[in-house]
Copies of this chain bind each other. A is one copy, B any other.
Amino acid sequence: MATSTVENYLKHMLLLSEGGEELVPMGALAEALAVVPGTVTTMVKALADSGHVEHRPRQGVRLTAEGRRVALNVLRKHRLVECFLVNVLKMDWAAVDTEAEQLEHAISDEVLDRLDALLGHPETDPHGDPIPSRQGKLDSQVYATLATCVVEKALRIVRITDQSAEFLQFAVQNGLLPGETVRVTERNLASGLVTAKKNAGRPLALGLAAAGKILVQPTR
């Protein structure tokens, strides 16, 4: 069995490669895992030996099919656990990421399946992130963000891509939750300012960086 350290390396590689095939730079991995770059090099070499990744020295690292399989399973656990914590235990939306971080490594496949059934096989977690299927299929649709979408059009929020408690708190405070409808009324690249409005609400100003963390799709 993979240790939880290994599971974390693989999971973050998956997240950093957007579910795709790109090489993940060692530095980005180090950043995401909060370890120094040298540690990542060492670990990645071990992971290459065990067949989980392909290491291109001085370039980066890529998941193998096997590594991807493991990573998807961990991600599935993480996101289903988040669903459980929010939907069943009614926990705070912003706090569950930290909890799931631990539980994703402790939960068995058996428990996972039953949890999935209990929750009614959800397709996304409470932040709107897609849950990999048991077969390892991950819906990685490309969405627009509040920083890139068309102006003055009604949009449905589908996902918040910053999992930090602070950002999630901010999102809750301003009702920017998956499912809600918003409209960007103004966007000024020069000043880096985006103004969004919920149907009946007052306009809300946010920076481009923040706006880019909120994924949207046209309302059907």
Nearest CB in chain B: distance from A101 CB, A: 9
> A102 at interface (Cβ–Cβ under 8 A)?
yes
Complex CA distance for A169 and B133, rounded to whole angstroms? 32
Nearest CB in chain B: distance from A110 CB, A: 7
> A56 at interface (Cβ–Cβ under 8 A)?
no
Residues of B within 8 A of A99 (CB): 108, 110-111
Nearest CB in chain B: distance from A170 CB, A: 21
Residues of B within 8 A of A107 (CB): 102-103, 106
Which of A62-70, A85-93, A158-166 touches B? A85-93
Which secondary structure dominates where chain A touches chain B? Answer: helix
Partner of A91, one of B91, B102, B106, B110: B110
Residue in B closest to A90 when the chains form the complex, CB atoms: B114
> A115 at interface (Cβ–Cβ under 8 A)?
yes
Complex CA distance for A184 and B192, rounded to whole angstroms? 81
Q: Mark A87-127, 1 if CB is under 8 A from B, else 0.
A: 01111000100010011011110110011001000000000
Complex CA distance for A91 and B111, rounded to whole angstroms? 8
Do B88 and A111 touch across chains, with their CB atoms under 8 A apart?
A: no
Complex CA distance for A115 and B84, rounded to whole angstroms? 11
Residues of B within 8 A of A89 (CB): 111, 114-115, 118
Partner of A85, one of B88, B106, B111: B111
Complex CA distance for A106 and B105, rounded to whole angstroms? 8
Residue in B closest to A111 when the chains form the complex, CB atoms: B99
Do B91 and A114 touch across chains, with their CB atoms under 8 A apart?
A: yes
Nearest CB in chain B: distance from A107 CB, A: 7
Nearest CB in chain B: distance from A77 CB, A: 11
Give the most central of A102, A106, A107, A110: most B CB within 10 Å. Answer: A106
Nearest CB in chain B: distance from A146 CB, A: 32
What are 19 pairs between A and B in contact, CB < 8 Å? A85-B111, A88-B118, A89-B111, A89-B115, A89-B118, A90-B114, A91-B110, A91-B111, A95-B110, A99-B108, A99-B110, A99-B111, A102-B106, A102-B108, A103-B103, A103-B106, A105-B106, A106-B106, A106-B107
